[in-house]
Amino acid sequence: FHRKGGGSISIAEPFITGFQYSRTQDGKSLTRNTEQDAEVEYFYHAEAAGGFTKALDLYSLGVVLCEVGRWELLADSVPSTEKEKLKRRAWATKFVTRGPLADLGWRMGERYRDVVRTLLTLELPDDKDDFFAHEFLSKIIMPIEACKV
């Protein structure tokens, strides 16, 4: 968000930056994180070791929405004795799709939880599939849009 002329911030007009770091529509990034940081590694799906795709980016969106719904970083909900396990993507993926996801139901409602589950379990078709846009709209956008607070 950026400040208007009078110094106030308008949440109705977000200012989005950072697109220089995005991938092309049909591209697959082979970028790998050489230094694994337990504080961020869990944002990546276990399958991302071979590169990133739109589906794996949507998994990361699911992690972010899970954190928003819980009002806490998922890394903070892991006991300190197990923090190092977050570096192992397979362990982190299982962790995220179990306890924290189940916890969303009573916090945010079933609709929100189901959207996050769809993203975390990679239930959407491949983005090259003709039905991807329809499924994304009907399983993610419309339910999120219908959420009320």
Residue 21 lies in a domain: no
Residue 93 has pLDDT above 60, yes or no: yes
Whole-number pLDDT of residue 3: 55
Residue 17 lies in a domain: no
Nearest to 127 by CA among 53, 31, 51, 21: 53
Q: How confident is the model at residue 114 (pLDDT cuts 50, 70, 90)?
A: very high
Mean pLDDT to the nearest integer, 133-138: 89
Residue 78 lies in a domain: yes
Nearest to 105 by CA among 113, 95, 97, 116: 113
Query: From CA 111, how far away is CA 65, in angstroms rounded?
Result: 12
Residue 11 lies in a domain: no
Whole-number pLDDT of residue 145: 92
Query: Phi then psi for 43, rounded to 5 degrees?
Result: -70, -15
Q: How many domains does the chain have?
A: 1
Residue 82 lies in a domain: yes
- Domain membership of residue 68 as a residue range: 35-146
Query: From CA 143, how far away is CA 149, in angstroms rounded?
Result: 13
14-38 pLDDT, tens digit per residue, is 666 555 445 555 555 545 544 555 5
Residue 95 lies in a domain: yes
